[in-house]
Structure 1
Amino acid sequence: MKKTAVQFDPFKVEQQEWKRRQRRERYKRALTISSPIFVLLLWELLSRTALIDPRFFPPPTEIIKTLVVMSVSGELFQHIWISLYRIFAGFLLGVIPGIIIGLLMGLYSPIRHFVSPLIMALMPIPTLALLPLIIILFGIGDVSKVVTIAGSVFFPVVINTAAGVLNIDGIYLDVAKNYGAGSREYFLKIALPGSLPVMLEGIQMGQAIALLTIVAAEMMGATSGIGYLIWTSYKAFLLKEMFVGLILISFFGYLFSVALRILQKKLLPWR
């Protein structure tokens, strides 16, 4: 008997491969969602059965009820708005100068040698340690919080941007020089796109540091904000309200991280 030859169908093979990729993506998404759900269910069970002290770790369902009550009253949105304003203002105030100075340091050796000692000397000092001095200079209002966040964000951005420029293959700089590129072309056509991968990692670090800084800054000399909510709730032993503040910080940290990753995919599709 003659065996029937099996015809190779590239379209069918490609379709099967696409289905496998879709299954893998669904599996990864399921894992991503399942881990926080598992932790919350475990927390709920341990708190309800008093295996952990519900006074210190109230059940997540009770925390969610408190979040809803605070949202309906409008109290929560006031804290969220003022904190987001401080975070975005401080973030931009730190990122924009960090990118510009980082590009200059990477492109021009004299600037790099002049600025590097200052950055290396100031970077190890925690910005929060300078908060008393910042409050003396700028008062206890929003400006001091914004400046504190900007100082924390500036250093990872400027260092990563400079490193990104220095890692650019020298052949691109030589080609630009041979074609008579000016300073503007070096900035916009070579340094900026070439340093983007490392720069965006620095910006990603900066947004995480901004969230850490705003909580600590609002615990001192503030009358509103998520950090203020966390601190005053702790002092009054209102732990449900305190956990609401912690959940908000965690939520915004995750949201900002996802947004920056989406931006990174748009700006760097080849990665």
Structure 2
Amino acid sequence: MNMKEVIAIPKVNEGKEKHRKINPSIQRVLLGSIVPILLILAWEYLSRIGVFPPHLLPAPSIILQSLMTMTTDGSLWTHTSITLYRLVLGFLFGTAAALIIGAAVGYFSTVESLLDPLIQAFRSIPSLAWVPLFILWMGIGEPSKVVLIAVGVFFPVYLNIVSGIQGIDRKLIEVGKIYHFSSWQLICKIILPAALPSFLVGLRSGLGLGWMFVVAAELMGASTGIGYLLVYGQNTYAPELIISSIVLFAILGKITDAILKGLETKTLHWQDTIVKK
């Protein structure tokens, strides 16, 4: 082997190493974009050749033009910001209530016997069934909308908190007692870390239901919001506005879920799972 061959080998290996060191996050984003891009291209093509009637299913280019028009006149930011405002408030209130009640129900069996049957009964009530009652109690203003979203967020977060606490291995608690942990130390060092994965899953589930309840909330006499755009598009027979609203819900829902997913990944970095994060 001469000197040229010796020098060439490291360069080849270096190239392979650079090729292998692709950021996993970027790779997931690229892979996740393949199917949506293909569907959009197929949708655009079928719309242009007349397979999809424009008065029923406009082409993606028309929907993009509608979004650009709303961006130019400022209405897109107005409707998006008020929807996000309602969602964030409802999400925070629902999560706080679920955290307090769920922790008490999961940790104390007496509290579970008192509250859990009633909460499970309320959980089976459809979201739209709450609308007339909240309008009667709080009118058609912002409080009724925020409370409705909070109700939707509450139940999945509550269930996951209770499940996470009750699923903690009793041996972990016994180990803490052997080391003479106080009740506060047991909660901070054993119970919370062990229940954290379930709690974070509950947050993502609650956020997803929160987006669903936003639509129901913005049917309650709203004059702004993405849900209002859906109703306005239906009343004015504007399918491009309806689909634009649906696309906005999808994009914003994905962004907010990705934020919680990133928080989950960073918070649970200590887990040794089968899937590398």
The answer to whether TM tops 0.5 is: yes
Corresponding pairs, count: 261
Match of 1:6 in 2: none
Identity of aligned residues (%): 37
Match of 2:73 in 1: 73
Match of 1:145 in 2: 145
8 Å Cα contact 2:56/2:239 also seen in 1: yes
Amino acid at match of 1:43: W
CA–CA separation in structure 2 for the residues paired with 1:216 and 1:97? 21
Match of 1:96 in 2: 96
Distance 1:54 1:196, change over 3 A: same
User: Would you say 1:200 and 2:200 are equivalent positions?
Assistant: yes
User: Would you say 1:214 and 2:214 are equivalent positions?
Assistant: yes
8 Å Cα contact 1:91/1:150 also seen in 2: yes
CA–CA separation in structure 1 for the residues paired with 2:130 and 2:35? 38
Match of 2:62 in 1: 62
Distance 1:13 1:143, change over 3 A: same
User: Would you say 1:111 and 2:111 are equivalent positions?
Assistant: yes
Distance 1:27 1:92, change over 3 A: closer
CA–CA separation in structure 2 for the residues paired with 1:170 and 1:160? 18
CA–CA separation in structure 2 for the residues paired with 1:226 and 1:170? 47
For residues 75-134 of structure 1, the C-alpha deviation after alignment (integer angstroms, 9 at most, x for no partner) is 111111111000000000001111122122221111122111111111111232111101
Distance 1:28 1:214, change over 3 A: closer
Stretches of structure 1 that go unaligned for 5 or more consecutive residues are: 1-11
CA–CA separation in structure 1 for the residues paired with 2:194 and 2:24? 32
Shift of 1:246: 0.9
8 Å Cα contact 2:127/2:216 also seen in 1: no
Distance 1:146 1:36, change over 3 A: same
Distance 1:14 1:209, change over 3 A: farther
CA–CA separation in structure 1 for the residues paired with 2:87 and 2:164? 25
Match of 1:44 in 2: 44
Shift of 1:197: 0.7
Distance 1:159 1:232, change over 3 A: same
Amino acid at match of 1:263: L
CA–CA separation in structure 2 for the residues paired with 1:15 and 1:184? 53
CA–CA separation in structure 2 for the residues paired with 1:14 and 1:268? 33
Shift of 1:153: 0.7
Shift of 1:15: 9.3
Amino acid at match of 1:267: T
Structural RMSD (CA)? 2.3
8 Å Cα contact 1:160/1:198 also seen in 2: yes
Q: Between 130-139 and 170-179, report the one with greater CA deviation.
A: 170-179
Stretches of structure 2 that go unaligned for 5 or more consecutive residues are: 1-11, 272-277
CA–CA separation in structure 1 for the residues paired with 2:129 and 2:189? 39
8 Å Cα contact 1:152/1:209 also seen in 2: yes
Shift of 1:24: 7.9
User: Would you say 1:172 and 2:172 are equivalent positions?
Assistant: yes
8 Å Cα contact 2:52/2:58 also seen in 1: no
TM-score relative to the length of structure 1:
0.89
Amino acid at match of 1:49: I
Match of 1:250 in 2: 250
8 Å Cα contact 1:107/1:191 also seen in 2: no
Match of 1:162 in 2: 162
CA–CA separation in structure 2 for the residues paired with 1:143 and 1:25? 39
